[in-house]
Amino acid sequence: MSLIMTSSATHGMSTAAVPFRLDTLSVLLVEDTKSERDFIVKLLQNMGMDVTSCASGEEAIELYQSQMPDIVISDWRMPGLTGPQLCQRLKKTQIPPYIILLTANNQAKHMVEGIESGADDFLTKPFIPSILKVRLLAAARIVKMQQHLTDKNIALNTALSKEQAYLAQVQKDLDSAARLQGSLLPTSSKLINQWSLAARFQPAQDLAGDIFQCFSIDDSHLGFYLLDVTGHGIAASMQSFTLAQRLSCKSCHWDSLDPALIVTELNADFEDPENAGRFATLILGIANTDSGQVRMTIAGHPQPILLDNDSATMMSLDSGLPLGIDNQFQYQYNSFFLSSNQHLMLYSDGLYECQHPNFGQFGQQRLVKTCSDAHQLSPEDLLHHLSHALELWQQNSPQDDISMMIISTANLDTSEMDIAQYPAENEMTIQPIFQDSSPT
């Protein structure tokens, strides 16, 4: 509430230093007494203001809705809507005006009532014209600040709308890219040269740095690999896509049946265009589907797990450097045989590096034990079982890309691989089996 200044205090007041001009503002005057209305209108016009006047609160509402003046000056006592009632109505509009109430009553309770009704200022009649001008200058300052904030909000909302539209388009593009990436992965429950494949892929974001494949080289051989580029997201996915193209049957020497040669050539051509220290791990193999012999080269990738009807064992094969560390590195391959009813499980490090808030990493030992305890499950169900165990371990908050694939020999009863539905999540065969709660 501004103090009412005396005539002597305002005499000779200069408004030259005031940065707000009244002639840029519009005002609606509401006064039922014609003589007073005409007097105040003339005062306001002499100040350079654009003035509209009326005699009732009802008419004032219509004029405000059509003209949207910056300031409303209203008498207190009027037929129909009173000044406080008009304040309440106007303050409910989308853009409420600055309101000054005029009254002949200067009692404190009336001032409180007026301000509580929504009035921004209060002026007692009769008033000195210079006092009205001072109040209007104060109003102008607030109105201009409100207009500035409104303009800023409009600009921000416009920018936000554009940003949201842009992000929506980016998300749409990411979704398309994710679908494309998913289409490059092999179909689970797939037969290749009478060997079986089960696979599962869980990206941490829309796009992943993991990619894997399994395919027929000829009637007696199948090729497979699992590639994990450091990080995840767009950059990692683009790098993995590029490497996967290099590993396609048409671009790579799969017919050499030499996985070491394939990995050595891929590493020699590995590029890190952003010089971000990016590298990739890779496990790549060629299996003779007649004899069961597997030749496998590992470039810094996690060791495969050998599954059979009774247990799960992490293999201990020779491994070379990750791709992108030394482009002169010469890789070697390991050779071993898969017998009937054995399965070879490949996976990315996201499978065992996921963190529990209390117990740390899931860990490779826990991974092997979980596979051993669930050895009775089919490969497809085992992958589902592992996925559910990891969801519980990382509290349903994906932390890294997770890729898993299980390659099974030809003598496996493949009827188990064609599973239309998984058992319910609350069945014992699907619940993850943890014998201890200590981190590995």
pLDDT at 7 over 60: no
Residues β-bridged to residue 286: 223, 295
Q: How many CA atoms lie within 13 A of 291 on its CB side?
A: 10
pLDDT tens sequence across 237-295: 778 788 888 888 777 889 999 999 999 999 998 887 667 678 999 999 999 999 999 99
User: Would you state the structure tokens that stand for residue 315, as one six-digit string?
Assistant: 């293999």
- Regarding the domain delimited by 20-153, which CATH topology (the fold level of the hierarchy) does it fall under? Rossmann fold (3.40.50)
More confident residue, 277 or 419: 277
Average pLDDT value for the chain: 82
Task: Write the burial class of residue 103 (CB in 10 Å: 0-12 exposed, 13-18 middle, 19+ buried).
Answer: buried
More confident residue, 422 or 14: 14
Nearby residues of 365 by Cβ (< 8 Å), 6 or more positions away: 440
* Distance set, CA 171 to CA 1, 13, 175, 283, 408 (Å): 52, 61, 6, 31, 37
To the nearest whole percent, how much of the chain has pLDDT over 90? 45
Q: Report d(CA 229, CA 406) in Å as an integer.
A: 20
pLDDT band at 315 (very low <50, low <70, confident <90, very high): very high
Q: What pTM does this model have? A: 0.60
pLDDT at 398: 67
pLDDT at 1 over 50: no
HEC assignment per residue over 84-113: HHHHHHHCCCCCCCEEEEEECCCCHHHHHH
HEC assignment per residue over 340-389: CCCEEEEECCHHHHCEECCCEECCHHHHHHHHHHCCCCCHHHHHHHHHHH
How many residues make up the chain in this entry? 440
Dihedral (Cα; 314, 319, 325, 331), 10-degree rounding: -150
User: Would you state the structure tokens that stand for residue 226, as one six-digit string?
Assistant: 């699992």
Q: What is the H or E stretch that residue 399 is in?
A: none
Q: Report d(CA 71, CA 150) in Å as an integer.
A: 16
To the nearest whole percent, how much of the chain has pLDDT over 70? 82
pLDDT band at 12 (very low <50, low <70, confident <90, very high): very low
Averaged pLDDT for residues 405-424? 52
pLDDT tens sequence across 38-48: 999 999 999 99
User: Would you state the structure tokens that stand for residue 39, as one six-digit string?
Assistant: 């007097």
The domain segmentation of the chain, as residue ranges, is 20-153, 184-417
Q: What does R_g of the chain's alpha carbons equal in angstroms?
A: 39
- Regarding the domain delimited by 184-417, which CATH topology (the fold level of the hierarchy) does it fall under? Phosphatase 2c; domain 1 (3.60.40)
pLDDT at 433 over 90: no
pLDDT at 419: 29
Q: Report d(CA 184, CA 210) in Å as an integer.
A: 11
Identity of the residue numbered 58: E
Dihedral (Cα; 68, 69, 70, 73), 10-degree rounding: -130
Task: Write the burial class of residue 149 (CB in 10 Å: 0-12 exposed, 13-18 middle, 19+ buried).
Answer: exposed
Q: Report d(CA 80, CA 57) in Å as an integer.
A: 7
Choice among 271-280, 310-319, 349-358, 422-431 with the minimum mean pLDDT: 422-431
Residue 388 phi, psi (nearest 5)? -65, -40
DSSP per-residue letters across 158-171? HHHHHHHHHHHHHH
pLDDT at 405: 94
For the chain, give percent helix, strand, coil, nearest 5. 35, 20, 40
